[in-house]
Structure 1
Amino acid sequence: MKRRTFITGTSVAAAWSALSLGGAQLASAATRDRALATTAARAVNTAGTTLEQVATPSGTGSYKRLTAGPGWPLVVRGELAAPGAGRDDRRTGLASFVQFSDLHLVDTESPVRFEFLAKYNDSAYRPQEALNARGVSALVERVNSLDGGPYTGMPFSMVMATGDNTDNHELAELDWYLTVMGGGRMAQSTGDPTRYEGVQNSGNSGFWNPEVAYADVYKAKGFPQIPGFLSAAGRPFDAPGLKTPWYTTVGNHDDSIEGSLPDFGLLNDLYTGGLKLEGCDDATAAQLMDSLRRDPAGAVLLLAKLLANGEAVRRVTPDERRHPFTLKEFAKAHLNPAVTGAGPFGHGFTSDMVGSGKLYYTFRISEKVVGISLDTTNQAGFADGSLGTAQLRWLEQQLKDHSGHWYDTNGNRVTGGSTDDVILVFSHHTSGSMGNLLPDPRNIFEKRHDGNELVALLQRYPNVVAWVNGHTHMNKITAHGHAVPERAFWEINTASHIDYPQHGRIIEIADNGDGTLSLFTTLIESSAPYTTDFGSTSDANLAALYRELSYNDPNGRVSALLGAGEDHNTELLITKPTR
């Protein structure tokens, strides 16, 4: 759909948002069609995005198949600045890029995955996870197929992956992440390359056993039997890699066990060894879950006891590729020239950062837009994050260097800064998930700072227009600073690519020529077909199954993670920063 004369009808899109549930249920086809027509008229090109079409469930059974449904229209959000008439005709693009988040390249055969704890932690096991690398590769293919942003038409200057790039900070997972992003031949498999050695052929009724007719709890909910599924999931395939430069931000799953347990090396032998615990009784599982959260040493002792005496212990092929990496090793791997691909060299990391372990940096997104990537992980454990004092001070200096003016802690206006840029901040954690103030082992005496402190700091710098993050696996866009335009910014939180809806997000920044900026956020799905074939194990069908299986999440989280219409395809208005 090509851009036509601007139709003044933002109220139509607003009505759509009010009448939709997660952007998927229509109050009326007429309302939907008017909103989509308005959206198409304002865009340069909607093809290949959720402005055009969206995966939509069909069927009446408990297991839902997916098909192509109507797209989601643009929702204009004017909480922070009023939308001016005629702005489309004056629009000048400043930047266009893509966000990936929570890719979770996962080793499903790892001995240090405790899938049987899924009843206490729903991320411990997902029926689609063996297809994860193919699904992420299909998202890369989608980005490669697009000419640029749907509203500015600008080619993408970069892709930013905002953390949890790996699932359990294993070397194999890191290799898969770098290969999926940069391109190359890979297989999502460890241990014996000729056979699958995980819970999905264990015969345990609590997991989906796809290759056999065994009546597990998933098949009772309509999950299919797919002969050859596991061997196909682990076979090599060619990942195309991004054609666009890409950057990495770190997340808690990139630096800890299962994203929440501090790694002091106590489980290294289990990671690379030949025993995998695939289940235990409910009382012991609850005890282990509690120990993982509160008593890491006690958890190790309990695991050792279960591995020595438990009934559901499986012998697997030992593999040194499962060895956990440190954050310094994570950054160093990005400096390998073999993974540079579309660039830049290091993908945000430098040799100095490898030496210091300070994995935060500033980079240029476009001529007038600068990005700041933070490290919000806390290696004391637990999933949530925070910032140390040194990084907070570093961030404030970066904000000063790139701002024409700011406000001190007393509210006084200060003029300065060597450049006057539009600033975007990137992190893994959100403002609401930065409450982990435990001392970080990397600097045990350094004070930690929560999301409220970071919000307060960003609101002192008018050049900050957005904070882009992940972690929650949810689409959510929040306006900060309604009362004072110069103290306002948007927080853009995007869903994961391990759980449904498996979105990426295009973000475009445009100058409206009237004292405001528009941030257009457009969700994209992978290039995988919507329809699936239970009789096929082709690469395309495996990527399609990855999406469909995730939709049928037995934990009932789909609606919450999907978000509402105002969290999907939006135009976010904000006052343009001025010197």
Structure 2
Amino acid sequence: MVPADPARAFLTEPEQVAIVAGDGDGHGLDAAAVALGRAFYTFDVAGTPLRFLVMNTSSLTGSSQGLIRPVDLETVIGPQLDEALAADKWVIVTSHHRSGSLGDGQEFGIGTQYDDALTTAQWQEFLGGYDNVILHLAAHTHRLMVEPLQPVGGHAYWEMVTPSLNDFPSQMRVIEVWDQDNGALTIQARALDMITDDDPLAELGRTLAVADSTSGWENDGRGTGPDQRNVEPWIAAPE
């Protein structure tokens, strides 16, 4: 049991956003995010046309699946993408949940069900409406994945998933976007091992990740094959 502590309490999302934004450099959260009370924000990569759109896709009432509703598109996501399009920015959308991990806010009878929640196909179709979106970078599935998406009647883009360091083989990705100067971009993604030398906690984490994998508790974080790990997908450069 965890001992009771009157100084410890659950935080609402607006409270969390305000605390993180007020710490150091704000970790990317700006005044607009604080005013919104949700962790939606953008940042640019200096000297490049790249812009990241960071989204909070968590369901606030309990489901582990992602939740995106029309109100999110209308008030935050759509305006941010419209602004990026007008500024000739190439967008990498990033969130915890990939498109295939979206739900309606309820899971195992827990949480609030939203009948207007976007489905996987609807979210992909929405992103496909912006030809400056080159990548949706996500997680949640606990394994390395990369998949080309071609929404019906929309623009093709890539979806890339990276697991946690808690998942065997405890790897992270380094992602680089290269302009090939021929009308195409390449998205280089390489899986890297973490160093555990002289770090007992990191070594324990790797040991537990191996135990989880060999016991069948977790999926193999390496994905379904080598073509999901060190990859270099191509995409047409936005005009």
TM-score range, shorter chain: 0.7 to 0.9
Q: Which residue of 2 aligns with 1:310?
A: none
Q: Which residue does the alignment assign to 1:500?
A: 168
Paired residues, number: 230
SS of residue matched to 1:325: coil
Pairing 1:237-248 to 2, within 5 Å after superposition: none
Aligned twin of 2:123:
454
Query: 2:104–2:113: 8 Å Cα contact kept in structure 1?
Result: no
Is the aligned partner of 1:552 residue 2:211?
A: yes
Change in Cα spacing, 1:482 to 1:356, as seen in structure 2 (3 Å) is closer
* Contact 1:520–1:572 (8 Å) recurs in 2: yes
1:326 to 12, 35, 46: 12
Q: Structure 1 CA distance, aligned partners of 2:81 and 2:127?
A: 8
What value does the CA root-mean-square deviation take over the aligned residues? Answer: 2.6
Match of 1:385 in 2: 66
1:562 pairs, out of 211, 214, 222, with 222
Identical counterparts, % of pairs: 27
Which of 1 and 2 has higher RCO (CA within 8 Å, sep 6+)? 1
Query: What are the Cα deviations for residues 308-351 of structure 1, in whole angstroms up to 9, with x where unaligned?
Result: xxxxxxxx6433455322212211221334xx2xxxx2112234
Please report how far the alpha carbon of residue 388 of structure 1 lies from its aligned counterpart in structure 2 after TM superposition. Answer: 2.3
Residue identity opposite 2:222 in structure 1: L
What TM-score do you get using the length of structure 1 for normalisation? 0.37
The equivalences for 1:68-79 within 5 A come to none
Residue 358 of structure 1 is matched in structure 2 by: 38
Distance 1:320 1:562, change over 3 A: farther
**1:504 CA drift (Å):** 1.7
Considering fraction of residues, name the structure with more strand.
2
Q: Which runs of 5+ in 2 are unaligned?
A: 107-111
1:547 shift after superposition:
0.5
Q: Report the equivalent of 1:398.
A: 80
Change over 3 Å in CA distance of 1:356–1:512 after alignment to 2:
closer
Counterpart secondary structure, 1:504: strand
- What pairs with 1:3-402 in structure 2 (closer than 5 Å)? 276=1, 317-320=3-6, 322-337=8-23, 340=24, 345-366=25-46, 367-393=48-74, 394-402=76-84
Separation (CA, whole Å) in 2 of partners of 1:515 and 1:557: 44
Structure 1: which amino acid aligns with 2:49? K
Whichever of the two has the greater Rg, that structure is: 1
| Letter paired with 1:508 | E
When residues 361 and 472 of structure 1 are mapped into structure 2, their CA distance, relative to the original with a 3 A threshold, is same
* Alpha-carbon offset, residue 523 of structure 1: 1.4
Q: How far apart, in 2, do the equivalents of 1:453 and 1:461 lie?
A: 14
Code of the aligned partner of 1:478: E
Secondary structure at 2:199 match in 1: helix
Whole-angstrom distance in 2 between the partners of 1:460 and 1:492? 19
1:561, distance to aligned residue in structure 2 (A):
2.5
Q: TM-score, normalised by structure 2?
A: 0.85
How far apart, in 2, do the equivalents of 1:547 and 1:445 lie?
39
Secondary structure at 1:448 match in 2: coil
C-alpha contact 1:388 1:446 (8 A) present in aligned 2: no
Flag structure 1 segments of 5+ consecutive residues without an equivalent.
Answer: 1-275, 277-315, 404-416, 530-538
Q: Distance in 2 between matches of 1:477 and 1:444?
A: 30
